[in-house]
Amino acid sequence: MNANILATAHTTRAIFLDVDGTYADFGVVPEGHVSAVRQARAAGHKVFICTGRPLPMLPDSILGAGFDGVVASAGAYAQVGDEALINSTFSADLTSRALDVLDAHDAVYILEAQDSVRVPAAAEDRLRAHIAAHFASAPADQPTASSSIVGSLTSFTNRSGLSFAKISVFESPVPMADLVNAIGEDIDVVANSIAAEGPHAGELFQRGISKADGVAAVIAHFDIPKSDSIAFGDGQNDLEMLAFAGLGVAIEGSSPELLAIADRTAPRPSELGIATAFSELGLI
């Protein structure tokens, strides 16, 4: 990584933005961030969303600035235009093992796919209560957008034929580490990027997949050197992305692990951190 990277008129940078806590705050994108993305693209740079969210949780209110592509589901999916560069889903065996364990513990979870976000019918009311509580925790003067999550939900009772890229667990009677151990191989967990709920909540994903995979696929597609990539993030699922990119930017207040590998920091969304960093890096 190169902490002194600066954009120049003849160099196209590939810029990757995490959503929750980085580009948006409680689901709302500041107008200053929208303007910064548009200015960076007008200057010839490529800007991408790189999020743990699946596509159905990325409404126009988040994508409205205009982007050159999307990395979703924490690297399990990457899309440029109409082309899917990566589309990795749970195997049938892993699906069966994961859902058996989650249902045995009466966990509250959602299955995140690129065409739908599904919640077990029996847990839907509890899930909506968790999401409502998270957005209610925002500062009194902070606008929120819970509709990007609850508006994409559909319930299911029949597990057959389900296909998804990631599972977000909002409530478990046992720690997430216990669930991972019970499910067995090929699964891992990070803290929930939308609503942190401590050790009894988190995001289950296919072991070995990270946002760095999406970044690598996208820059290869555009033939942009890794040294000309810049990644912004604030969560545990951003670790690999910031370590991989030519320049890793952590949002102030991120975990010590993320701050330790970042080349520099940027202010929080409420302080227009993306716009500030874009200006300091010569991207706008």
pLDDT digits (tens, 9 = 90+) for 65-113: 999 999 999 999 999 999 999 999 999 999 999 999 999 999 999 999 9
Mean pLDDT of 209-224: 98
- Are domains 14-88+210-280 and 92-206 of this chain identical in fold? no
Give CA–CA dist 91/89, Å, rounded: 6
Q: Let me know if 233 is exposed, middle or buried by CB neighbors in 10 A (0-12, 13-18, 19+).
A: buried
For residues 118 and 164, the answer to whether their CB atoms sit within 8 Å is yes
- Structurally, at CATH architecture level, domain 92-206 sits in 2-Layer Sandwich (3.30)
- Over its C-alpha atoms, the chain yields an Rg (Å, rounded) of 18
Q: How many CA atoms lie within 13 A of 4 on its CB side?
A: 0
Q: Where are the domains of the chain?
A: 14-88+210-280, 92-206
* pLDDT-based confidence at residue 3 (cuts at 50, 70, 90): very low
For residues 243 and 261, the answer to whether their CB atoms sit within 8 Å is yes
The predicted structure's pLDDT at residue 30: 97
Average pLDDT, the chain: 91
Q: Is the pLDDT confidence value at 221 over 60?
A: yes
Of 157, 219, 201, 194, which Cα lies nearest the Cα of 12? 219
For the structural domain made of 14-88+210-280, what CATH number should be given? 3.40.50.1000
Of 272, 265, 252, 234, which Cα lies nearest the Cα of 35? 272
Give CA–CA dist 261/239, Å, rounded: 8
pTM of the model: 0.90
